[in-house]
Amino acid sequence: MGTIITKDRIVIPGQVIAEGMDYLPAKGTFREGESIIATVLGLLRIEGRLINVVPLRGPYLPKAGDVVIGTIEEIGFGGWQVDIGIAYPANLSMKEATKEFIERGADLARYYNFNDIIFATITNVIRLKAVDLSMNGQGLRKLPPGRLIDVDPTKIPRIIGKQGSMISMIKEKTKCQIVVGQNGKAWIKGETAEDELKADQAIRKIEAEGHNEGLTEHMEKFLE
């Protein structure tokens, strides 16, 4: 037999959520004896027997298949080192950087220079110190200079919305191009600085209020 102990929507680290072996600890939880306990501050999601806590704040953890926005930090002989907002730079090899043939000894800065912003995918994560990137994939590219903002990575799914509905609405209403990386970065390019500011503020608003009910309506109103 198992019992759900708490009625809270938001749980905090160390809080006992359920007792008994019927329930299983999934994301953001662990088992201690009979108890299932939250490890992060977040929203409680019970899916059948699985107890999840969806974090409301937290660092980005890279995983293969994620799309991220990064900044070129270092150019080496065999490729680039890219700051994707984690403790150590990610690697972009020549092979994964472009479909073009790069001649031996070529100046790699011609392809991606220092401080260039790229939209890339993660192909492999061994440790935080060994994250590999690739530019092969739809929409992956070098981004022209634009407004680059940091948001809490846990809020990215909210910013994108169901099937991209939220981000589409912001793009449409602000007439901006927007690229969102799962690493908690967003790149904005609009026709005017005012449009870009509006898009920035919209994203910030979702970051601050994303866990509340009625977000879509709030955002519609905000963007009018």
Partner 1 sequence: MAYTKRFDGRGFEEIRKMSAEVGIISRAKGSARFQIGDTIAIAAVHGPRELHPRFLRKPDKGVLRCDYDMVSFSVSERKRPGSSRRSMEISHVTGKSIEPVLDLSKYPNTVIDVFITIPQANAGTRCAGICAASLALADAGIPMKDLVVAISVGKAGDKVVMDLTKEEEDHAEGATDIPVAMTPRNGEYTLLQLDGDISKDELKEALVLAKKGCDEIYTLMQKTLRDSFKEKK
Partner 2 sequence: MKEYLLGLIKDKKRMDGRGLSTYREPITIETGISKKAEGSARVKIGNTEVNVGVKMELGTPYPDSPDEGTIIVTAELIPLSNPNFESGPPGIQATELARIVDRGIRESHYLDFKKLCVKKGEKIWMVLIDIYSINDEGNLFDAAALGAIAALRDAKVPVIKDDKVQYGELTAKKLPLDKEAPILMTIHKLGDEFIVDPISAEEEAVSARLSIAIKGDRICAMQKGGADGLSLPEVEKAIDLAYTQVEELKKALK
Distances (CA, A) of 86 to 59, 70, 90, 180: 8, 10, 9, 16
Q: Does 145 bind partner 2 (CB under 8 A)?
A: yes
Amino acid in position 182: Q
Report the residue number, 104 or 127, with the smaller CB distance to partner 1: 127
Binding residues for partner 1, rule: CB under 8 A, are 8, 10, 12-16, 28, 30, 32, 37, 39-41, 55-59, 61, 86-88, 127-129, 154, 208-209, 211-212
Q: Does 113 bind partner 2 (CB under 8 A)?
A: no
Q: How far is the CB of 42 from partner 1 (least distance, A)?
A: 8
Of 3, 34, 64, 115, the one binding partner 2 (CB under 8 A) is 115
Report the residue number, 58 or 157, with the smaller CB distance to partner 2: 58
Sites for partner 2 among residues 27-56 (CB under 8 A): none
Distances (CA, A) of 64 to 8, 120, 151: 33, 11, 21
Cβ atoms within 10 Å, residue 98: 14
Q: Does 148 bind partner 2 (CB under 8 A)?
A: yes
Cβ atoms within 10 Å, residue 48: 7
CA-closest candidate to residue 85, choices 63, 62, 65, 67: 62
Say which entry of partner 1, partner 2, none residue 24 contacts (CB below 5 to 8 A, set by partner kind): none
C-alpha span between 134 and 132 (Å, rounded): 7
State the number of binding residues for partner 2 (CB under 8 A).
10
Of 194, 208, 216, 220, the one binding partner 2 (CB under 8 A) is 194
User: By the 8 A CB rule, do 53 and 94 touch?
Assistant: no
Per DSSP bridges, beta strands 10-11 and 42-47 are antiparallel
User: Which residues of the shown chain bind partner 2 in the complex (CB under 8 A)?
Assistant: 115, 145-148, 193-194, 196-197, 200
